[in-house]
Amino acid sequence: MLTYILPFIVLILIVVFIHEYGHYYFAKRYGVGITDFSIGFGKEIIGWNDNSGTRWKICWIPLGGYVKFFGDRNVFSQADQLKILEKYKKEDQDKLFVLKPLYQRVLIVFGGPLANFLLAIIIFFSIYTFVGKDFTPAVINEVQKDSPAMVGGLKESDIILEIDGNDVKSIMEVSKFITMSTSDTINFRVKRLYDEVSLQIKPDTVQGEDNLGNKINKRVVGIKLGAYNNEINHVKLGPAQAIYHSVQEVYYVSVSSLKYIGAMIFGKADTSQLGGPIRIAKISGQVAEFGVLAFISMMAYISISLGLVNLFPIPMLDGGHLMFYAFEKFLGRPLSQKTQEGFFRIGLILLLSLMFFTTFNDLKDLGLFK
C-alpha cells in the first residue's frame, strides 16, 4: 500500500499546491486579503502563519485544497455585497475579494487552472529540452489477418502520417490517437510508396491491459508497428521547439479529454475508463516504479486534468464561479446570495454523484465489484 500511497500523496500535494498558488498569486497581486492556504481538507496536520496573517496548512484529507479570502463566509466566496458594505470598514473593504472589479475576480479564479496548465507546459518543456522527444516515423510492420486494418485497406510498409486529423510525428503517438478516438471509424492517412492514401478503419473494442497491467477496454485495429528504417529518432529540442510542442501537447490532451467526456455523456465512449482518487493512487504507484521521468510525466497529465475539470461550469468548481461572473456581466449585477446557494446545492449533488460513480469504477478496477 505504501508504494501506492506515498507517490499519490506527493503527486497530489504538488499539483494541488500549484493550483491553489495560482489563485493565491493573482489574489495577492490585486490586494485581496487571504486568511487560509490549505492543502487538503479536514483537521489540520501542520501549519504556520506568514507575516501577512495567512495560515498555511496541510490537512488530513489530501483530495484538494482551497484559498480562503478575507471576509468570506466559506471557502467558496459566497457573499452578499450590500451586507459586506455594511459590515466592514473602508480599509477592510479594499481587501475583500467580492468587491474587486469583475476582471480581477475572473483572473483570480482562472489563476488556479492556468497554473495547472503552466505546470504541465514546464514539465513537458523540461523533458523535451533535457531528455528529448521521439520523432521516429511509424511504419506498419504487420497487418493481422482479417483485422479491421486489413478490411480497411492498411498494408505492410505503410507509413502512418495522420490519425483523425492529428499529425503522427512519432511511433509513440499511434496508440494514443487510436485510444482517444471516439467515433465509429478512425481516419488514417498513410504514405504508400510515392502516394498518400486516406482510409477509414472501424476498430474493434477488446478487453486488454495497458502498459502497467491494468485491465482496460482497448480500441484496436490490428497492426504491429516498427521504426522507419529501424532507426530511432530521439531529439533534444531547443527552447522554441520545446515550448511549441509542450503547448501543443497540453492543447491536444485538453481537447481530446473534452471530446472523450462528451462522447461518454452521449454513450459513445467507455465510462468504465473514468476513474477517481483510488485509481490515480494505484496508477501513480505503478508509474513511480518506472522512475522519476515517468512519474513527472504523469504529473503533467494529472495537472492538465485538474485544470480542465475545474473549468467545468459546475458550482463549487472554478468554472462555476466563472459562470456566475458571466451572468454578472450579462445582468449588470451579481446573482443574489439565495440564487448562488441554490446553484451550489445542485453543484454539490453533481460532484457527489460523480465521486460515487468514479469510486465505483475504482473498486471494480480493484476486483471488488463485477
The set of catalytic residues is 20
Contact 141, 160 (CB under 8 A): no
H helices of the chain, in order, are 2-29, 81-87, 90-93, 102-126, 148-152, 172-180, 239-265, 277-288, 292-310, 318-331, 337-365
C-alpha cell of 101? Answer: 472589479
Q: Give 190's strand partners.
A: 160, 197
Separation CA 286–CA 42 (nearest Å): 28
Q: Give 36's strand partners.
A: 55, 68
User: 347: exposed, middle or buried (C-beta count within 10 Å: 0-12, 13-18, 19+)?
Assistant: buried
SS3 state of residue 363: helix
Separation CA 130–CA 60 (nearest Å): 36
Helix 292-310 / helix 102-126 crossing angle, nearest 10 deg: 160
Q: Give 207's strand partners.
A: 217
Q: Which residue has the cell 487510436?
A: 178
